[in-house]
C-alpha cells in the first residue's frame, strides 16, 4: 500500500494577515510545511509587484521539491483598486506556464498544480467570467467591496502514480451563485475521458455538502442513461471547515475522489499556515 498526500490551498497571493505583506520567502516556508506530493493552488500571482515579483507556482514547486508544475493564467495585468484587472498589452492572451517559462512573461494571476510525481500529460479548460459583480469582504478594505467576477479555469494532470496513471484536477470556481454550480458540473462531465482514479481539488466557492450534491448525484429517473464510463460518481473525501483561517467555520476548499475505494482515505488535516485567509486542506490516501 502506497500513501499519497494531496492538498489544496487558496494562498491569497501569499498575503500574511498579520501585516498584509506578501513575499516569496514566507510563501516558500508555508508551502514547505505542507509536505504534500500533489498541491492545487488558487489565487496565485505571477510577477506581481504586490507579491515581490515572484513566480509563485515556481516558488511552490521548489519549496515542495516538485519537478512538474503548471501555472494557468486566468487574467493578465495588474489588479486595479476597485474595477478589476488592468490588461497588460504585452500579454493579452491567457497562457499556461511551466518550468520552461520560469521567469518569462508579464504579470498575471490564476491557478497552479504542483506534483512530485511525474506528469504524463496536461490539459486546461477555461470558463468565461460571470457578467456580474458582488459585494464581498476584501482583505485590507473596510466593509464590503463590489468585486467583478473573473474568468475561471480547471487544470488537469495525468500523473504517473505508484500503481499506474491517475488524474488530478485543480479548480477555482466563480463566487457567483449558480455559475459555480454550473462550472463544477461541467468539470465533472468534461473529465470523463481521463484515467481513473481521479482527484478533484480546489476552492469551489461552494460551502459544505453542496459540491457533493452537484457532482456526486446519480442521474434522475426518466433521464436518458449515459454509457457507464461517462457517469459521474464523485465522492467528497474531506468534510471539514477551512475558512476563515483564523477561525474556520465554512468549507469552501474541497478534495473529491472518483474511482477510489471506500477505505482510501487514511487521514484528513486542516492546516493553518502563515499566509492566506484560507486553511490548506490535506488528505492522505492509501493507493
Over its length of 287 residues, how does the chain's per-residue pLDDT go in tens digits? 689 999 999 999 999 988 889 999 999 999 999 999 999 999 999 999 999 999 999 999 999 999 999 999 998 888 876 667 877 766 555 589 999 887 788 899 999 999 999 999 999 999 998 987 766 666 666 667 777 888 999 999 999 988 899 999 999 999 999 999 999 999 988 899 999 999 999 999 999 889 998 987 554 444 344 444 445 579 999 999 999 999 999 999 999 999 998 899 999 999 999 899 999 999 999 98
Write out the residue range of the structural domain in which residue 254 sits: 3-286
* Strand-by-strand arrangement of the 3-10 sheet: 96-97, 68-76, 108-115, 38-46, 3-10, 280-286, 265-271
Pull the grid cell for residue 183.
Answer: 462550472
Give the N- to C-terminal CA distance of the chain in Å, as an integer: 6
Cα 59 versus chain centre, distance: 16
d(CA 158, CA 122): 6
Closest-CA residue to 264 (of 238, 284, 280): 284
Bridge-based pairing of strands 3-10 and 38-46 is parallel
Pull the grid cell for residue 38.
Answer: 500533489
pTM exceeds cut of 0.75: yes
We report the CATH number of the domain holding residue 95 as 3.60.10.10
Cα 49 to Cα 42, 54, 78, 79, 109, distances in angstroms:
18, 8, 9, 10, 12
Pull the grid cell for residue 189.
Answer: 462531465
Closest-CA residue to 250 (of 270, 274, 275): 270
Domain count across the chain: 1
* Strand-by-strand arrangement of the 164-172 sheet: 119-127, 152-161, 164-172, 198-203, 253-258, 235-236
Task: Establish whether the linkage from the previous residue to 35 is cis, with ω within 30° of 0.
Answer: no
Predicted local distance difference test score (pLDDT) of residue 219: 46
Amino acid at each position: 500500500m502506497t500513501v499519497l498526500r494531496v492538498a489544496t490551498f487558496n494562498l491569497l497571493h501569499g498575503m500574511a494577515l498579520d501585516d498584509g505583506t506578501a513575499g516569496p520567502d514566507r510563501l516558500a516556508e508555508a508551502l514547505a510545511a505542507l509536505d504534500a506530493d500533489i498541491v492545487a493552488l488558487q489565487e496565485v500571482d505571477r510577477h506581481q509587484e504586490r507579491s515581490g515579483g515572484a513566480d509563485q507556482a515556481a516558488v511552490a514547486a521548489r519549496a515542495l521539491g516538485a519537478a512538474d508544475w503548471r501555472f494557468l493564467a486566468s487574467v493578465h495585468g495588474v489588479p486595479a483598486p476597485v474595477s478589476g484587472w488592468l490588461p497588460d498589452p504585452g500579454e493579452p492572451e491567457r497562457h499556461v506556464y511551466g518550468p520552461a517559462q520560469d521567469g518569462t512573461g508579464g504579470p498575471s494571476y490564476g491557478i497552479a498544480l504542483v506534483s512530485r510525481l511525474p506528469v504524463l500529460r496536461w490539459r486546461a479548460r477555461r470558463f468565461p467570467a460571470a457578467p456580474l459583480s458582488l459585494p464581498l469582504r476584501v482583505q485590507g478594505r473596510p466593509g464590503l467591496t463590489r468585486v467583478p467576477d473573473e474568468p475561471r479555469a480547471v487544470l488537469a494532470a495525468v500523473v504517473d502514480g505508484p500503481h499506474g496513471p491517475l488524474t488530478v484536477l485543480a479548480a477555482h470556481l466563480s463566487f457567483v451563485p449558480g455559475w459555480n454550480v454550473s462550472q463544477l458540473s461541467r468539470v465533472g462531465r468534461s473529465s470523463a475521458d481521463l484515467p481513473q482514479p481521479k482527484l478533484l481539488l480546489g476552492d469551489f466557492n461552494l460551502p459544505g455538502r453542496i459540491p457533493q450534491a452537484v457532482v456526486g448525484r446519480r442521474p434522475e429517473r426518466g433521464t436518458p442513461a449515459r454509457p457507464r464510463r461517462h457517469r459521474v460518481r464523485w465522492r467528497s473525501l474531506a468534510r471539514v471547515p477551512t475558512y476563515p483561517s483564523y477561525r474556520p467555520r465554512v468549507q469552501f476548499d474541497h478534495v473529491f475522489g472518483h474511482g477510489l475505494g471506500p477505505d482510501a482515505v487514511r487521514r484528513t488535516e486542516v492546516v493553518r499556515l502563515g499566509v492566506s485567509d484560507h486553511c490548506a486542506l490535506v488528505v492522505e490516501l492509501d493507493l
